[in-house]
A = this chain, B = another copy of it.
Amino acid sequence: MTPCPVETTLQLISSRWKVLIIRDLLEGTKRFGELRKSIGPVTQKVLTANLRAMEEDGLLTRKVYAEVPPRVEYTLTELGYSLHPILASMSRWGKAYQQMDIHQAR
């Protein structure tokens, strides 16, 4: 039997940071430091852990350049890029939500 597709998707992207990593990498390849800045208040350790997990899952690739100082670039794979419609619908919803008044009551 096949599990619920929604749950399957959640297993790959349900973490506080993964979705934001994808959001930023959709713009193109980024270095570790760039990601760290654009994502927000995430520590090195946590960002690294999330990136490694996503690499394991085949969502992105990690390329290390043998330079000094070192450079490491992260790029979405096709699989990772294919998540783009989900991000797009989340962005649309968030935008609409921000323009509503309802949520301002809280």
Interface, chain A (partner B; CB < 8 A): 2-10, 12, 14, 16, 19-20, 23, 56-58, 79, 82-83, 85-98, 100, 102-103, 106
Bound CA span A89–B97, Å: 18
- Give the distance in Å from the alpha carbon of A14 to the alpha carbon of B14 in the complex: 7
User: Do A5 and B82 touch (CB < 8 A)?
Assistant: no
Q: Which B residues are CB-close (under 8 A) to A8? A: 94, 97-98
Please state if A5 and B95 are interface contacts (CB–CB under 8 Å).
yes
Q: Which residues of B contact A87 (CB under 8 A)?
A: 6
**Do A6 and B94 contact each other (CB < 8 Å), given the known contacts A14-B16, A86-B86, A86-B89?**
yes
The residues of B that contact A10 with a CB separation of less than 8 Å are 16, 19-20, 90
